[in-house]
Structure 1
Amino acid sequence: MRRIGRFSGYSRLHFRRDLTSGFTVAAIALPLGLSFAIASGVEPVYGIYTTVVAGILISLFGGSRFQIGGPTGAFVPVLLGIVLTEGYKSLLLSGMMAGILLVLMGVFRMGALVRYIPRPVTVGFTAGIAVIIFVGQIANFLGLRGIEKHEAFLPNVREIMAQISTINGYSVLTGAICLAVILMAARISRRLPGAILGLAVSTVAALWLYPGEVATIGTVFGAIPAQWPAISMPSASWGEIVRLLPLAFVVAILGAVESLLSAVVADQMTGTRHDSNREMIGQGIANIVTPLFGGIPATGAIARTAANIRHGAATPVAGIIHSVAVLIILLAFADYAADIPLAAMAPILMVVAWNMSERKEFRHLIRVKNGDAIVMTATFLLTVLTSLTLAVGAGLGLAAILFIKRMGEVTGMTKAAPDPSSKHRKVHAHQLQPERECPQLQIFTLEGALFFGATDLLGETAASQLRTHATVLILRMGKVLYLDMTGESQLRLTVRELRKQGMEVYISGLQPQPRELLARSGFITEVGETRFFAHTGETLLFALSQGIDHDKCKGCLRNVFQECAGLSRPAAVTEVVDELRASKV
């Protein structure tokens, strides 16, 4: 992928492309901004403020040329929980604190760390959020009355069931009209702004065919002001900041994950490469400034970013134009927004939930039926039934445990010897008959990661397989790519025990990371620099020339090594040993 300047070579053609894309994406972003605000438990106009302010700042300071920022569905359960438990003021403060955390994460170049969140965890919590959003819109779609919002999923489901008798047929019809228009627009062309078309058609139908029969933005939230808000700095005590810090951290991590996933999607669609640390700084700046205007937390929006690219965006100017267009619509048509039925907004978020549900990936992981499916399912259920914080924490914990288990399983210690069927008698693990083993020299191959999750294997193997009368042991470690201090400790104990038994230990093929660690820990000094070799061949030559008792080789017919033929003939031992030592020199 290529990384190119965000505004390099900007031309009139670029502006025309950005203008077309910006106004098209604005038509998509406007209803989503209203819907996400309502779903988050705040007044709909705050979603518009977020779309305008965050959209401009993310495009100006972010790390992707095509990123469209604003309120997103991923935030809905978290923000609603903050509003219900802490209040709107605390939501603003949490968003600002999350912005500061994002800036710090970008400054300290932690953008790449977010990519280490396992895919099953991401799929699990995304699918869980989709379920929460979808179920959360059922009440508005059905026009239920007397609904009390709860932070937890199950109480909200019970609330819907308790008030199901208050269903409003006009609301259902309004929602059905909007949903039908959205689905038809998607079938006709992906370029059609289905959400705003559905909103317009269903609103007109409600006003003309059954006026006053459904709840609207105006009847529930009041009129949307046709003016820009004044800047207001949220005030808070130190105790409140400390109390809200965990919530701010959740918002920051979720925003980082969502924005970087969106940037990766943009990279895949355009062949460009984003700057992850700059993207986090841009997201942070947007979330610091947006609360000053009453806006809610924002992040990169995958669907809007993809639409921006599909409609020909050339530079971040498209994102700025999209925000300005939303602002113009707000100032010009705010009076009409009060007539939008809540039932018409419900299917917009239902479609968003369906599209973000990761259903194909979910089914794929379920069919695999391995540890990843367990991690994903646990994360999904915990997201729906408890909280996103617990879900992600538990998902990461499970994924870490499974990773440790898998790495431990691929770490092994196997007996090796020259293969007589190989032309050059290469040393590798193969079936060895006891009568074909060298009674003095044993070779073992260590492979995998020698770390805290796999050291028991080394200890058990050493205890069971190294009980031998051999006096020389060669440990081939060329396939050990990682070693930690627990692995170093176990290796040190094993080598010490073998040397106490009178065995000479030689080590070959150390990779850079294990060699560096063993040098710093003093292990190489303890064992002796002369007992470490780059390759198995030179280790074997040294061991055969200086490590074994040549008198015991006389008359041996096992011929494990090429040199055995000479060493087994009494008259030729001295000559062969001299040749071996000469070849070593």
Structure 2
Amino acid sequence: MTEVPARSAGRRTWAHLRNLLPSVDDSRAVRRTWRRDLLAGVTVGIVALPLALGFGISSGAGAEAGLITAIVAGIVAAVFGGSNVQVSGPTGAMVVVLAPIVASHGVGAVALVSVMAGILVLVAGAARLGRAVSFIPWPVIEGFTLGIAVIIFLQQVPALASPELHGASHTNVAVLAWQSLLGADPAYLAWSLGAVAIVAACMLALPRLHPGVPGSLIGILVVTVLSLVLPSPLRVIGELPQTLPAPAVPEWDAATLGALALPAVTVAALAAIESLLSARVAASLADTGPYNPDRELVGQGLASVAAGLFGGMPATGAIARTAVNVRAGGRTRLAAVTHAAVLLAVVLLVARPVGAIPLAALSAVLMITAVRMVHTATVRSILRSTRADAAAFVITAIVTVSVDLIVAVVIGIAVAGVFAIRNLARATGVHREQIAGPPQPGDDRIAIVRLDGPLFFAAADRVADEVASLADVSVVILRMSQIELVDATGARILTEIVQRLERDGVTVLIKGVREGHEELFRTVGVLDALRHHRHLFATLPDAVAHARSHVARAAGREESNG
């Protein structure tokens, strides 16, 4: 008898694992869309180049780590991921997490953290945790995004203020940014701000002339040429590798794994959250086909492992680059692979000229990117929505900047949960009803109490207090058919209500227990607390008739005793 369920479970497991792997369906549309995919891939590659360099430098791992990650992780995630249009690589959110890891454990820890976090994300996908991101409320996501944008912007200030402060360790980016400005080199700051102004002007103005103009690359090119022609003090990227390094397992030992365990969990959680959000956003931008969240986690996990083996950094799905891909016409995985191939061509063919780019130009790209991450219309709509959503948004943003990204998400979810529970508790109602039909003698001794909404831990005490406040009654009819959900705490409080009323000489009748609640009421003791098993009724008229009989018998006893 157990063999059939076992075989069925085995088939389901195998079907799930098969859905996590690449299939022929991934490339069916390439014959129709390959031209648009190639063009979109080239476009995204051009956009991704300065971001890969900038994020690599800002993380402390170096520009080459950013490029390697964009190439290796970009290809692996495109092939194994769950989205047809997701573009993966280094992102600003990951930079925020990696910077303190580099400061505490050194650059060498980045590759090992990437492998460790990738394995965790891979396991999460295999364990079918891809749908977990749906539990994160929208205001928390937007607060998280706002906080990341602020951090990315502030991280660039030390690089602009003085070359000596670039890459300095810090515990709070706002404090370090302020300290950097106080100790800034005025001459260097003037050059840096000039570079920022040029790149910002190109990024903001040139796309208005034509949407296809790569404003960031043109701005970087202008600043680079000026820094070569003029006697500029601006620091540059420096020498880049002209080929990909050979893959190798990062050095590790038990002590190192223990020290990096918590950072790896943080990186894995961030990679999973950001990748799933990006894939979900991409699916809403155009008809790009469905995405598989579990497979997306598997693909992103493999991408981070591969990037770590090549000396890169953890990768995630990049919302901005994915959106560029979709809007440029990308519809299959060929576009993301092409984007990685463009970056590989940069490494193989023009690594030396790229090394001459001033860091201030890359900082400018990241600052404008950070500003564009914040949509004022979205912020206004959240702040004007409900008090609970506004609080979750603001608290998440503040904690993201001042404490930690994952802590911010946890606190944001907790705040949203507290407000949701409070609102749910307020939906629980306790109403006293009149007996329908012509009144009869003794009806004033009968109380019909209707319980509405959810009966759970947050509302249980209030329900108990309101029912207990009934006075001068002999029978209480509890109408239960309108209770939408009930938990163990609500059922236990209901048991205590029945027991208290019965001790006070009040007969309790229960009407309309839903089929799904009866087993819980029986297990917790609600039904056992009734004076008689016949005090459970399916219809209100039957309960009222029984209550009237109790009142009549009580009145008869009083007359005989009188």
TM-score, length basis structure 1: 0.83
Q: Secondary structure at the match of 1:413?
A: strand
- Tell me the amino acid that sits aligned with residue 103 of structure 1: L
1:175-232: CA deviation from partner (whole Å, max 9, x where unpaired): 2211111111332344333222222222223223x144321112xxxx1010110112
Instruction: Give yes or no for the alignment of 1:322 onto 2:326.
Output: no
Q: Quick one: structure 1 residues 542 and 29, their matched pair in 2 at CA, closer, same or farther if it must change by over 3 Å?
A: same
CA contact (8 A) 2:444 2:473 kept: yes
Instruction: Give yes or no for the alignment of 1:284 onto 2:304.
Output: no
Number of the residue aligned with 1:62: 81
Q: Quick one: structure 1 residues 280 and 469, their matched pair in 2 at CA, closer, same or farther if it must change by over 3 Å?
A: same
Number of the residue aligned with 1:104: 123
Query: Aligned equivalents of 1:530 and 1:195: distance in 2?
Result: 79
Query: Aligned equivalents of 1:482 and 1:552: distance in 2?
Result: 35
Query: Aligned equivalents of 1:382 and 1:341: distance in 2?
Result: 32
Number of the residue aligned with 1:498: 501
Counterpart of 1:135 (choices 154, 161, 178) is: 154
Query: Aligned equivalents of 2:77 and 2:436: distance in 1?
Result: 62
Query: Aligned equivalents of 1:112 and 1:82: distance in 2?
Result: 28
Number of the residue aligned with 1:188: 209
Instruction: Give yes or no for the alignment of 1:354 onto 2:371.
Output: yes
1:25-56: CA deviation from partner (whole Å, max 9, x where unpaired): 11111111001001111210110110011111
Of all paired residues, the percent bearing the same amino acid is: 34
Counterpart of 1:80 (choices 96, 99, 115) is: 99
Number of the residue aligned with 2:490: 487
Q: Quick one: structure 1 residues 474 and 213, their matched pair in 2 at CA, closer, same or farther if it must change by over 3 Å?
A: closer
Instruction: Give yes or no for the alignment of 1:198 onto 2:219.
Output: yes
Query: Aligned equivalents of 2:198 and 2:116: distance in 1?
Result: 41
Task: Report the alpha carbon displacement of residue 299 of structure 1 after superposing the two structures with TM.
Answer: 0.5
Q: Secondary structure at the match of 2:457?
A: coil
CA contact (8 A) 1:55 1:69 kept: yes
CA contact (8 A) 1:472 1:505 kept: yes
- Tell me the amino acid that sits aligned with residue 58 of structure 1: A
Q: Secondary structure at the match of 1:505?
A: strand
Instruction: Give yes or no for the alignment of 1:178 onto 2:199.
Output: yes
Instruction: Give yes or no for the alignment of 1:215 onto 2:224.
Output: no
Instruction: Give yes or no for the alignment of 1:22 onto 2:25.
Output: no
Where does 1:158-307 land on structure 2 (aligned, <5 Å)?
A: 158-168=178-188, 169-208=190-229, 210-218=230-238, 223-271=239-287, 272-307=289-324
Task: Report the alpha carbon displacement of residue 476 of structure 1 after superposing the two structures with TM.
Answer: 2.8
CA contact (8 A) 1:6 1:65 kept: no
TM-score, length basis structure 2: 0.87
Query: Aligned equivalents of 1:26 and 1:436: distance in 2?
Result: 86
Task: Report the alpha carbon displacement of residue 284 of structure 1 after superposing the two structures with TM.
Answer: 1.1
Query: Aligned equivalents of 2:144 and 2:441: distance in 1?
Result: 56
Query: Aligned equivalents of 2:468 and 2:260: distance in 1?
Result: 53
Instruction: Give yes or no for the alignment of 1:155 onto 2:160.
Output: no
Q: Quick one: structure 1 residues 484 and 46, their matched pair in 2 at CA, closer, same or farther if it must change by over 3 Å?
A: same
Counterpart of 2:511 (choices 507, 510, 526) is: 507
Query: Aligned equivalents of 2:211 and 2:115: distance in 1?
Result: 35
- Tell me the amino acid that sits aligned with residue 269 of structure 2: I
Number of the residue aligned with 2:542: 542
Query: Aligned equivalents of 2:441 and 2:260: distance in 1?
Result: 69
- Tell me the amino acid that sits aligned with residue 145 of structure 2: T
Task: Report the alpha carbon displacement of residue 358 of structure 1 after superposing the two structures with TM.
Answer: 4.4
- Tell me the amino acid that sits aligned with residue 193 of structure 1: P
CA contact (8 A) 2:191 2:234 kept: yes
1:106-133: CA deviation from partner (whole Å, max 9, x where unpaired): 1221111222122232222221121111
CA contact (8 A) 2:207 2:215 kept: yes
Query: Aligned equivalents of 2:442 and 2:292: distance in 1?
Result: 57
1:225-261: CA deviation from partner (whole Å, max 9, x where unpaired): 1011011211322232233222112111111111111
- Tell me the amino acid that sits aligned with residue 455 of structure 1: A
Q: Secondary structure at the match of 1:296?
A: coil
Query: Aligned equivalents of 1:5 and 1:416: distance in 2?
Result: 64
1:310-343: CA deviation from partner (whole Å, max 9, x where unpaired): 1111211211111112111211100111110111
Task: Report the alpha carbon displacement of residue 348 of structure 1 after superposing the two structures with TM.
Answer: 0.6
Instruction: Give yes or no for the alignment of 1:443 onto 2:448.
Output: yes
Number of the residue aligned with 1:462: 467
- Tell me the amino acid that sits aligned with residue 28 of structure 1: V
Instruction: Specify the structure having the higher radius of gyration (Cα).
Output: 1
Task: Report the alpha carbon displacement of residue 506 of structure 1 after superposing the two structures with TM.
Answer: 1.7
Number of the residue aligned with 1:116: 135
Number of the residue aligned with 2:398: 381
Number of aligned residues = 527
CA contact (8 A) 1:126 1:358 kept: no
Moved more, 456-465 or 390-399: 390-399
Task: Report the alpha carbon displacement of residue 543 of structure 1 after superposing the two structures with TM.
Answer: 1.7
Task: Report the alpha carbon displacement of residue 378 of structure 1 after superposing the two structures with TM.
Answer: 2.1
Number of the residue aligned with 1:561: none
Task: Report the alpha carbon displacement of residue 154 of structure 1 after superposing the two structures with TM.
Answer: 3.7
Q: Secondary structure at the match of 1:506?
A: strand
- Tell me the amino acid that sits aligned with residue 445 of structure 1: R
CA contact (8 A) 1:49 1:290 kept: yes
CA contact (8 A) 2:61 2:110 kept: no
RMSD: 2.8
Query: Aligned equivalents of 1:441 and 1:237: distance in 2?
Result: 75
Q: Quick one: structure 1 residues 254 and 495, their matched pair in 2 at CA, closer, same or farther if it must change by over 3 Å?
A: same
Q: Quick one: structure 1 residues 544 and 145, their matched pair in 2 at CA, closer, same or farther if it must change by over 3 Å?
A: closer
CA contact (8 A) 1:123 1:358 kept: no
Query: Aligned equivalents of 1:116 and 1:489: distance in 2?
Result: 28
Task: Report the alpha carbon displacement of residue 542 of structure 1 after superposing the two structures with TM.
Answer: 1.6
- Unaligned residue ranges in structure 1 (runs of 5+): 426-433, 554-585
CA contact (8 A) 1:499 1:505 kept: no
Moved more, 113-122 or 75-84: 113-122
Task: Report the alpha carbon displacement of residue 418 of structure 1 after superposing the two structures with TM.
Answer: 6.2
CA contact (8 A) 2:152 2:367 kept: yes
Counterpart of 1:94 (choices 102, 107, 113) is: 113
